[in-house]
Structure 1
Amino acid sequence: MKNIKHYIAIATCLIILVAAACKKNDGYNKTPISGDTTKPGVVTNVKVDNFNGGAYITYNLPNSENILYVLAQYNIREGVKRETKSSYYTDTVTVNGFAASADYDVTLYTVSRANVMSDPVTVKVHPETPVYQLIRPSINVNADFGGVNVQALNPLKKEIGIIITAFDATTNSMEVQDQFFTKADTINYSIRGYSTDPRQFGVYVTDQWGNISDTLKREISPLYEELLNKSLFSAFNLPSDTPIGYGWQLPNLWNGTENGDGWHTLPGEKPPFVCTFDVGRVYKLSRFVMWERFGEWAYGHGNPRDFSLWGTKVANPKDAKLPISAPEGAVVGDWINLGNFHFPDPPSGSPPGSTTASDEAFVRAGVNFNVPFDAPTVRFIRLAVNRSWSGGDIAHVMELSLYGNPQ
C-alpha cells in the first residue's frame, strides 16, 4: 500500500511538472485574458535613438497591469507597411528596415489583454543610412576566370545580399544570375561559367526587408579558364612529403573518382601533411574543387579543415619543409604559398561530429576555392593540410580538380 501511494505521489508530481512546462511564457503578459474592455492609456515620455536603417523607441507605459504589449506601425518605403510588437515587460520597441535615411512616422499603441488598442501616439524617426546603401559605393566588379569577381565592404557585418545580373540574349534583358547572402565584413565573391565574349554584368545590394540599391553595370569579358587535364598529372614525391598509408596512392587524388580511394597519410605524423605533384604544364590557376571523404568521415577524421596550396614553375624544384602556417605569398625555397584556405563549416550549423544529411550532401558535391588572382603561374603543386577536422595525426582527400589558364 505504501508503494502504491509512493507511485501515485510521483505520478502527481510528474503531471504538475508537465503542465508547468506546457505553460511557456513567450514574453507577453497575456494570461489570464482580461474581460476588461476599457481603452488603455497611451505611452508617454517617448524618446528616439536612430541607427542604420532603424530606430530604438523608448517610452513609459501607463500604470496598468492590463497592458499586453506595445504595437508600432510604420511604412519602411512607399506602399510597404510593417509592425513590431514589444512586450509589457520592456520599455523599448525596435523599428527596422527603412529604405532611406529620411523622416518616417511611427504610430505607437498600447494593447490590453482584452485586445483593446489605445489612442495612437505618433513619433518621427530619422534612421541613419541603411546598411545596403552603405555597402553599395564600395562595390567593385572585375573580370575573373570564367566570369566576374565582386568585392565590397560590409563594416557593420549585417546580413545583406549581393545580387549579380547579366545580359541574356534569349530574353534580351538583364537577368539574375546569382544571389549571395553574407554577414562577412569583406565580400569577395565570383560567379563562373561564361565564355570570354564581352557581356553586360550588373550588381546590386539587397537586405532582408526587400530594399534594393541602384545597380552597378559594367561590360566585362571574362578571362579564359579550363579544367586542367588530369591525364598529364604525375606524382612528384619529395623527402618531406608525408608517407602515404593503407595501400592508397597519390594518383588517386586525380583519378576522377570521389567515392573510392584517395590520398591518405599514415598515422603518427605531425602537420602539415603534405603531398606534391606535377600538373604537366605551366598554368595561372584560377580555382580548384576539393572532395573530402564523406559518409561517416564527413567533417571528421582526416578531412582537411585548414590547408594551404603551394606551387612553383621551377623546372626541377627542390625539397623544402613547409611550415604549418605562412602568409599568402610566402616563399620557402623554390615554393610559394598560393593561398590559405578553410573548408567551410557545416552548412547546418551543427558542430563537427553531429553531421546532418545536408552537411554530407555539401561534402559530396565538392567545394570550390578561389586561388588569389595575383598568385604566380605554377607547374608543380604541394597540398599542405595544416589541421584536420579531428585535429588528429592523419589527413585524407578523395579528389582534387584544378582550373586555370595555360601559359
Structure 2
Amino acid sequence: MEFILYNKIKSIYLLAFICLINFQGCEEITNYNEIISADKTKPENVKDVRVENFNGGSRILYTLPNSDNILYVQAKYTIRDGVNRETKSSYYTDTVIVDGFAESKEYDVTLTVVSRANVSSDPLTVKVHPDEPYYKLIKRELTTREDFGGINIRTLNPDRQSIGIILLALDSNTNSLAINDQHFSKDDIISYSVRGLSATPKSLGVYVQDRFGNRSDTTLLTITPLPEFLMDKSKFFTYRLASDADLYTDGGWNVDRLWDNNTGEPGWHTEASAKGMPILVTFGMGVKAKLSRFVLWNRPGQYSYSHGNPRIFSLWGSDKDSPQDIKLPISAPEGAQVGDWINLGNFNYPNPPSGAAPTAVTDSDRAFVAAGVNFDVPISSPAIRYLRLNIAETWSGGEFAHSQEISVYGTVEQ
C-alpha cells in the first residue's frame, strides 16, 4: 500500500513538472528587444503574403520561415505625412495588423523578420489599400442644429469606434476659431449638446478626430442658440397624486425641499414604498415651458452612490391644467403617453467618474455628486406645466428614494 501511494505521489510530481516545463516552453516573449540567442544568422523574410483591407487599416497574412530562431515580424509604415508607425507580431501568429491610415489609398508597408539574436531580415515591401477610415465615415453622418443655450451635435458610429468630436468657436481676442469643446465617445449613436452660449449668432466649426490623431475636414456654420432660462422656483408647488410615494417627514424631508435652493439636508425623502416601483413625486412649475435640461443633486457624502439616491429614472410631464393621477410604468419609450402624462426622457445617473465601484467611491466621486449632474431633455419634447420624477431603481436597490435639489431650464411659453 505504501509503495502504491509512493508511486502515485511520484506521478503527481512528475505531471506537475512536465506541465511547468511545457508552460515555460510556450511562454510568449513580450520584450522584443531582449537578445535571447547567439545564432547571428540572418533570417529569411515572410512569404505567401496576402492582404485583407478594412476601414482605416489592413491585415497582412503570411507564412513564416521555417526556423526556431524567429522572434517577431515588424511592420513599418506611414499613416499620414510626417507620422510613422510600427507594429510587431510575435512568432506565434501569421498575421500583423497595420492601422491608423488617414486615407483610403495605396500605402507601402515594410516587413522584416527579426531573430532572437536581434538580427533583421532583408526588408519586404507590401502594398496595402485600406478602406475609408472610420473618422471620415462618422464625419459624413454628422449633423448639427441649434439647441437651448448652444448647439446639438449628432452622428452615427455603428462599429463603436473611439472618436472625438471637436467644436470650435470664434475667439474674440484672436478673431479666429479655437477649441470650445471636446467630446469623446464609443457610442453607436452619438447625440449631445454643448451649452453656455448666448442667444446671438455664433460662428462655429466642428470636425472629427480618431485615436491616431487623424482629423476630418472642418464644417463651418453659423447658428443662433435658443434662449435658455432657469425656471423660477418660487412658482413651483407640490401637486401630490395618490400614486406618489409616501414621504419620510422626520426632520423636514418634504417635496418642496427639492426646490428650496439648498443642496444640503434635508431634501426630499420617501418611506419604503408599499405601492411598489416606480417611486413617484409630482410638482407643478406655475408656468408652461419647453424644457431644455435639468440638474439633479442627489444626497451627497456617504450616500453618494448608495441608499435611496436615484440610479435609473425618467421625467414625465403634462400640459394639462389639472392632470389626473395614473400609475406610471417603470420604463417606457421616450415620448410615450400614459393618461395625461408624457415621457420627457429616460436617464441613467453616471457611474462614479473615478471608475471605482459604487461601494468604494473616492472623494472626487463624492464631489461630483455634490456638484449636481446635468441631464438633457430631448428638444422634441412638448411644453409642459407639471413634472413627475419616476424612479425605477436606486443605488441600493431598495423601495425608497431621496434627492436634495432639482433645477429646471428651458423657455417659458405664453
Deviation at 1:356, TM superposition (A): 3.6
Q: Is the 2:33–2:118 contact (alpha carbons within 8 Å) kept by the matching residues of 1? A: no
2:107 to 104, 122, 138: 104
Deviation at 1:144, TM superposition (A): 0.3
Deviation at 1:246, TM superposition (A): 5.0
Q: In percent, how many aligned pairs have the same letter?
A: 54
Q: Is the 1:146–1:196 contact (alpha carbons within 8 Å) kept by the matching residues of 2? A: yes
Separation in structure 1 between the aligned mates of residue 132 and residue 284 of structure 2, nearest angstrom: 52
1:241-299 deviation per Cα after TM superposition (whole angstroms, max 9, x unaligned): 10111521112212222232221111144211111111221111000111222333232
Aligned partner of residue 382 in structure 1, secondary structure: strand
Alignment match, 1:13? none
2:266 to 261, 266, 272: 261
Alignment match, 1:8? none
1:250 pairs with 2:228: no
1:132 pairs with 2:135: yes
2:70 to 56, 63, 67: 67
1:352 to 352, 358, 366: 358
Aligned partner of residue 300 in structure 1, secondary structure: coil
**What is the TM-score with the length of structure 2 in the denominator?**
0.89
Q: Is the 1:27–1:89 contact (alpha carbons within 8 Å) kept by the matching residues of 2? A: no
Separation in structure 1 between the aligned mates of residue 200 and residue 318 of structure 2, nearest angstrom: 31
Separation in structure 1 between the aligned mates of residue 215 and residue 83 of structure 2, nearest angstrom: 14
1:340 pairs with 2:346: yes
Alignment match, 1:236? 239
1:311 pairs with 2:317: yes
Runs of 4+ residues over 6 Å off in structure 1: 29-32
Alignment match, 1:367? 373
1:183 pairs with 2:186: yes
Unaligned runs of 5+ in 2: 1-19
Separation in structure 2 between the aligned mates of residue 204 and residue 287 of structure 1, nearest angstrom: 25
Q: Which residues in structure 2 correspond to 1:77-96 (within 5 Å)?
A: 77-96=80-99
Deviation at 1:136, TM superposition (A): 1.1
1:281-334 deviation per Cα after TM superposition (whole angstroms, max 9, x unaligned): 111100011122233323222221211111112222222221112222222222
Q: Which residues in structure 2 correspond to 1:4-403 (within 5 Å)?
A: 27=30, 33-247=36-250, 248-269=253-274, 270-403=276-409
1:405 pairs with 2:411: yes
Unaligned runs of 5+ in 1: 1-16
More off after superposition, 361-370 vs 106-115:
361-370
Deviation at 1:373, TM superposition (A): 0.6
Deviation at 1:347, TM superposition (A): 3.0
1:342-395 deviation per Cα after TM superposition (whole angstroms, max 9, x unaligned): 112333444432334443333233221111111111121110101112222111
- Identify if the C-alpha distance between structure 1 residues 30 and 90 changes in structure 2 by more than 3 Å, giving closer, same or farther: farther
Separation in structure 1 between the aligned mates of residue 364 and residue 92 of structure 2, nearest angstrom: 39
Q: Is the 2:246–2:273 contact (alpha carbons within 8 Å) kept by the matching residues of 1? A: no
Separation in structure 2 between the aligned mates of residue 59 and residue 25 of structure 1, nearest angstrom: 20
Aligned partner of residue 358 in structure 2, secondary structure: coil
1:123-170 deviation per Cα after TM superposition (whole angstroms, max 9, x unaligned): 111111000000111111110000000011111111111111111222
- Identify if the C-alpha distance between structure 1 residues 25 and 89 changes in structure 2 by more than 3 Å, giving closer, same or farther: closer
More off after superposition, 224-233 vs 99-108:
224-233
More off after superposition, 76-85 vs 269-278:
269-278
Root-mean-square deviation over aligned CA pairs? 2.1
Aligned partner of residue 353 in structure 1, secondary structure: helix
Separation in structure 2 between the aligned mates of residue 26 and residue 150 of structure 1, nearest angstrom: 45
Which letter does structure 2 place at the counterpart of 1:219?
Answer: T
Aligned partner of residue 366 in structure 2, secondary structure: helix
More off after superposition, 389-398 vs 206-215:
389-398
Separation in structure 2 between the aligned mates of residue 38 and residue 380 of structure 1, nearest angstrom: 81
Which letter does structure 2 place at the counterpart of 1:121?
Answer: L
1:6-40 deviation per Cα after TM superposition (whole angstroms, max 9, x unaligned): xxxxxxxxxxx9xx99xx95646787722222222
Separation in structure 2 between the aligned mates of residue 246 and residue 94 of structure 1, nearest angstrom: 63
Separation in structure 1 between the aligned mates of residue 358 and residue 344 of structure 2, nearest angstrom: 27
- Identify if the C-alpha distance between structure 1 residues 64 and 217 changes in structure 2 by more than 3 Å, giving closer, same or farther: same
More off after superposition, 262-271 vs 124-133:
262-271
Aligned partner of residue 136 in structure 2, secondary structure: helix
Q: Is the 2:273–2:279 contact (alpha carbons within 8 Å) kept by the matching residues of 1? A: no
- Identify if the C-alpha distance between structure 1 residues 58 and 165 changes in structure 2 by more than 3 Å, giving closer, same or farther: same
Separation in structure 1 between the aligned mates of residue 386 and residue 287 of structure 2, nearest angstrom: 9
Q: Is the 1:140–1:151 contact (alpha carbons within 8 Å) kept by the matching residues of 2? A: yes
Separation in structure 2 between the aligned mates of residue 84 and residue 361 of structure 1, nearest angstrom: 41
1:181-236 deviation per Cα after TM superposition (whole angstroms, max 9, x unaligned): 10111111110111111011111100000000011121100000011122222211
Residue correspondences, number: 388
Alignment match, 2:11? none
